[in-house]
Structure 1
């Protein structure tokens, strides 16, 4: 019996064990660092992609809103025999585009003019009060167009009044596409006539066709035949993006291209005035290209992260995990290595006890006491960095749960669970070290111990629909009351835990006095223990099942073994698979 006990204790009194545990714990720390590093990167990616999608969706939805406003203008023409300049102004003023549709430059109406009708049209406009009106640019063309209405009619839009948009190839392409399709049509990149020499921005126009009321528009030929004019809006892209996104700080920069050919001529807008997509030396952490279909044009938004996009907390998380992990590794190593050193010292002292045996015995006891206190205090101190890691994990998960990918959340949960398991193991070690400490032997009524244990476990017994029973009268023994209570509670708890499926657990305790020994038997009808494991089950942290099947740290029976040893007794097991297990505890009469 003593040989087995010494073999068990020697596990923690061995320098090789300390180095093995250090190696394993460092590997676990590196794994935790890798998981937390991937988590931080994935968290930044998820946030970046979600925010970039929000910007692309905002642009798409705002352009749809602007198109709906233009369709309102079409409805105005379709509901009237003639829309006057005042009626158009009232319609646009009612929309209050500066406040409700920020980013739109204006809303206008343009008409086609035959070559032979150009002079009479200009004369009529002069008679209407526009004394310097001229269709521009000048020159002889088969067909002219003119902006007839444009609101708000401010200084910038007055620059476009009378402009022949058909004279420009890019505008003409969008205008003809609108006529042929009967749908909204957006031009390629242009410079608006409204631009001045300062704050020049790239622009585009969106057109909707106005047809003769009641006409058959089922064919392209008919749509060209009954065409009357265009309701349209000009856009300055810088003002448009400000109107859509406001002054929001995105945390990243983006570029907007008209077409999927990425070059400077196709660049519509750049949030930071630097064309990063075309700069081969620019290597951001995160990038994304999002296509946006805008009324016949295929835009592409290229977004990229900035240096400060990944937060300081996200960058520090892997380092914090690694730091505290290595601190715990080193502390754990020194605890076990110190145990080995103190054990060696104790053995040397025992060999040198020749002259004054009493003095040497006291010195050995003092050394063992210091060793126990040192192991207790050091193990207790390990809980603090573990608590810090768990708290840090919980804070980060709570703050980022909405943006967290399921896989990342699962990996981060692994870190938290690993820290909790290590905390449970250390707590179990502390409990093991406390057994018999400062305890005083006294007369213990085993009958009352069983009654108290059954009461303590009543909720668990009801939960598993179990039954705990005993028969006969149990004796009073000399021993440590708290430890004996723990002994029977652990054995009964195991019987309730390791039950067979669909079989209600039943635990029966019996007693006999034989050959001067109190013999107690704790029998259950559970899953049983393979014979090859009968000797191993009393070793610390020894588990026969994984945690997903049966919870626990594998230390309960080690507690039982230490308690029985403390009473100079013996504990053994007899078990049959799928029939049950019986533990026998033998205690001295005195």
Structure 2
């Protein structure tokens, strides 16, 4: 390989630094200065944009806190209005008001809503007696001590968990709370406390707390001066807040873009810290910081904000541009040098580069044009979401689908996500997480989005997932297809099938009935040639009737209108009945049945639907079995499930057809010359029916040797059950509002020989107890319309059920025992529990209740 000689290299260097190349050096100097000026300008613009965004984020956080506190004030004002409108508010009315608010869903972070009653010293004893009469036998106003004026937390919902510690507490006994309460009473306005530690801090991390107070006055008294308002004070409606929980409820699950802290007072002092998001390096100096003052109900909060590294880095984009500008400057210098020192070569190179740039630009234009035409032809909209920046780009067609004017400017991604229905958004996010975990790069999912006019638009979202090296999702890009027309066509198709099927039933019934009368000789003897034709007509009427029934069943299943009568019943009679019903069809095809099944196996199923599945399996096996062969039906246990299989000796299922075998209208031979008739709906319907009964279906096939279709159902029991045992077994009432627990208790207690009735609410339980006599009752403390302790008190107050044994099954047994002193004939069982624990605890409860010497002191019988 030839290398330049030293003299040639020296000549090139001399030419590079010669006076002839002064123009190239001037170009380099100008380019570098322009690059420096551009970098300084861009850096200034970035700083101003980041500062504006930082100020906006800080203001949004401050405004969100202020708005949420105003919402909480409205809740308390509504509670105060309840007292103003009623001379006496009882505990049930207070609970009803709280439940109607649905605070956990609408205002997460609030600890509860309560009412503190003001008491003179001589009223305390009478007040405590009244509360005990409500069922709280160990109630005491706390803390003890003599004070000129008392207050007592009388109502607090939810009255469970942490809130139990505050029940009966005198908030006037503590100075911070007392100052805020008296200030609210004298001013007649809402007030909040300074930083306090709530009584609810019974376990876990201790959070800073505060309370909001709204005064309630006695009606008819003057309220013109602070002294008059204090004298007329009836009580205080209030809400306690744990600051970390409150801020989590206000901010939701949005990823924070800045650190902020809240201090009680006009200065950010460590001992007055209410809340802080800072978890990183406290020594890091943020690039942006801000401090705001927030006046809230007599208190001043200081909010300090600091930018996070991720926020700062998102605005530092000038560095790469600086390097790019430096490279461009050097390139210009080289080009200028070549133009000066190698003009001809430079001109040729310039022409070549210009041509290449022109070709690249033309290729890019054609590519963009093709993409634009493809998207336009497909009528799809496109979109791109940058998760790091939280920004969205959407095409004009995408906005047009949702009824909005075209706007392809970058927008916050939240504006787009708010247009999606919450359930579909949750499902989409779950699907994206699963796709990322599985390493998939593509996704496709249907969803519904809100049109500008208010109706919903079904769309198909398809796109590409871009993740970083750690597998974190960074960007989503894809298309959106309007499915409105497709859904409309599917709905019309379903309605058409349903309408046609129903309309065909009436004439088909008349034809089939008339043919049956003629073939049965009801109108006289039919000539032999005609009888054969009429028999063929009647058989095809029956085939057509089966087709219509299959179409209607499939339409009901898809529309969710098919009802199921699920009963606990033995499996053996159902199988034998299916064989009997299909015996004639088997004899017609010259096929015999063989049966091999287990003993008494109990399942929870709809007998009619299970017969339909067995009929489909058996009829298919008969049709494809050679004449003179047999169809074998057998059952076996597989863990906690029972499998029922139907095997034939037919030709088997082709390999290519197996993936579609349970699809609608699927047939291995779809030609007009197929040997076996059928609609292709039987297996699809069977699969849907078994899955609606919590089961599964499947098959295995060997070409030339036959096929086995099977279904599995959950196993209930394997025991001998006689009518005498069922009618004489003890009857239990299960009071539980969770369907899965009801099903579990019915199975466990049914296996043990009990008869079980179940209800889901306090009102239903009282109605059933008035109608039926029960041996015992199981009870959950948390019901949809009340508390289990209230139901216990009503049961004990009724002479007919005063001694009824009660088994409390709950995750809150400890709370229940604290609030209920009268524990006669009551046993306690904590969730979760085993079958042995349930039966053992129930037996001891019944045994203790039947013994006159047992008392409620037997609390050691509680099972854990």
CA distance in 2, matches of 1:197, 1:338: 78
Deviation for aligned residue 1:302: 1.3
Alpha-carbon separation, structure 2, partners of 1:290 and 1:114: 42
Q: TM-score, normalised by structure 1?
A: 0.56
Note the residue ranges of structure 1 that are not aligned, 5 or more in a row: 1-12, 344-367, 388-394, 404-590
Local SS of the residue matching 1:179: helix
> Taking CA–CA contacts closer than 8 Å with sequence separation of 6 or more, which of the two structures ends up with the larger relative contact order?
1
- Check the 8 A contact 1:260/1:298 in 2, yes or no: yes
Larger Rg belongs to:
1
Matched, 1:271 2:281: no
For residues 421-456 of structure 1, what are the alpha-carbon distances to aligned partners after superposition, in whole Å with 9 as ceiling and x for unaligned?
xxxxxxxxxxxxxxxxxxxxxxxxxxxxxxxxxxxx
Q: How does 1:110-509 map to 2 (within 5 A)?
A: 110-272=116-278, 281-311=283-313, 314-315=315-316, 317-342=317-342, 368=344, 370-377=345-352
**Whole-angstrom distance in 1 between the partners of 2:83 and 2:253:** 36
CA deviations on 1:222-261 (whole Å, 9 max, x unpaired) are 2112211101111111111111112221122221111122
SS in 2 for 1:308: helix
State the alpha-carbon separation in 1 of the partners of residues 350 and 225 from structure 2. 91
The answer to whether the 8 A contact 2:185-2:215 is kept is: yes
Decide whether aligned partners of structure 1 residues 380 and 318 sit closer, same or farther in structure 2, where only a CA change above 3 A counts. Answer: farther
Report the CA distance shift for 1:339/1:128 in structure 2 as closer, same or farther (over 3 A). Answer: closer
Distance 1:41 1:91, change over 3 A: same
SS at match of 1:159: helix
- Where does residue 21 of structure 1 map in the other structure? 27
| 2:335–2:346 contact (8 Å) kept in structure 1 | no
Count of residues paired in the alignment: 354
Q: Aligned partners of 2:84, 2:335: CA distance in 1, in Å?
A: 89
Matches within 5 A, 1:91-110: 91-110=97-116
* Partners of 1:331 and 1:378 within 8 A in 2: no
Instruction: Output the CA distance in 2 between the equivalents of 1:218 and 1:384.
Output: 86
CA offset at residue 105 of structure 1?
0.7
Unmatched segments (≥5 aa) in structure 2: 1-18, 363-385, 394-408, 413-864
SS of equivalent to 2:331: helix
**Contact persistence 2:195–2:272 (CA under 8 A):** yes
Aligned partner of 1:76 in structure 2 is 82
Q: Secondary structure at the match of 2:122?
A: helix
Instruction: Output the CA distance in 2 between the equivalents of 1:42 and 1:179.
Output: 48
2:51 maps to 45
Change (3 A) 1:321 1:379: farther
**8 Å Cα contact 1:36-1:321 kept in structure 2:** no
How many angstroms does 1:297 deviate by?
Answer: 1.0
> In structure 2, how many angstroms separate the alpha carbons of the residues matched to 1:185 and 1:262?
21
SS of aligned partner of 1:269 = strand
- The CA distance in 2 between the partners of 1:383 and 1:206, in whole Å, is 70
Q: 1:390 corresponds to which residue?
A: none
Q: CA RMSD in A?
A: 2.9
CA distance in 2, matches of 1:371, 1:184: 81
Q: Distance in 2 between matches of 1:147 and 1:291?
A: 32
Other-structure match for 2:598? none
Cα offset for 1:18? 2.0
Q: What secondary structure does 1:241 align onto?
A: helix
CA contact (8 A) 1:324 1:385 kept: no
TM-superposed deviation, 1:40:
2.9
Asked whether the equivalents of residues 267 and 302 of structure 2 are also in contact (C-alpha less than 8 Å), the reply is no
Distance, in Å, in 1 between the alignment partners of 2:335 and 2:291 is 54
State the match for 2:517 in structure 1. Answer: none
- Kindly indicate whether the alpha-carbon contact (under 8 Å) linking 2:142 and 2:170 is maintained by their aligned counterparts in 1: yes
SS at match of 2:310: coil
Q: Secondary structure at the match of 2:312?
A: coil
Distance 1:380 1:263, change over 3 A: farther
Cα 1:212–1:385 change in 2 (3 A) is farther
* Distance in 1 separating the partners of 2:122 and 2:259: 52
Tell me the SS of whatever aligns to 1:149: strand
Cα separation, partners in 2 of 1:61 and 1:31, compared to 1, 3 Å: same
- Helix, strand or coil at the partner of 2:256: coil
The structural deviation recorded for 1:290 is 2.1
Displacement after TM superposition at 1:379 (Å): 6.4
Q: Matches of 1:302 and 1:194 in 2, distance apart? A: 27
Deviation (angstroms), 1:117: 2.0
The CA deviation string for residues 376-435 of structure 1, in whole angstroms up to 9 with x for no partner, is: 345677999999xxxxxxx999979669xxxxxxxxxxxxxxxxxxxxxxxxxxxxxxxx
Q: Measured at CA, do residues 126 and 259 of structure 1 come closer, stay the same or move farther in structure 2, by a change above 3 Å?
A: same
Distance in 2 between residues matched to 1:66 and 1:340, nearest whole Å: 77
Is the contact made by 1:187 and 1:204 (CA closer than 8 Å) also made in structure 2? yes
Distance 1:243 1:398, change over 3 A: closer
Q: Following the alignment from structure 2 to structure 1, what is the Cα–Cα distance between the partners of residues 51 and 411?
A: 13
Greater shift in the superposed pair: 36-45 or 230-239: 36-45
Output the CA distance in 2 between the equivalents of 1:24 and 1:383.
27
- Distance in 2 (CA, whole Å) between partners of 1:34 and 1:385 is 32
Query: 8 Å contact 1:328–1:382 — kept in the other structure?
Result: no
Q: Report the alpha carbon displacement of residue 310 of structure 1 after superposing the two structures with TM.
A: 2.7
Aligned 8 A contact 1:335 1:378 in 2:
no
Measure, in 2, the Cα distance between the counterparts of 1:384 and 1:28.
Answer: 29
Report the secondary structure of 1:170's partner residue. Answer: helix
Give SS of 1:248's match: coil
| TM-score, normalising length: structure 2 | 0.39
Is 113-122 or 98-107 further displaced after alignment? 113-122
SS in 2 for 1:129: coil
In 2, Cα distance between the equivalents of 1:90 and 1:249? 35
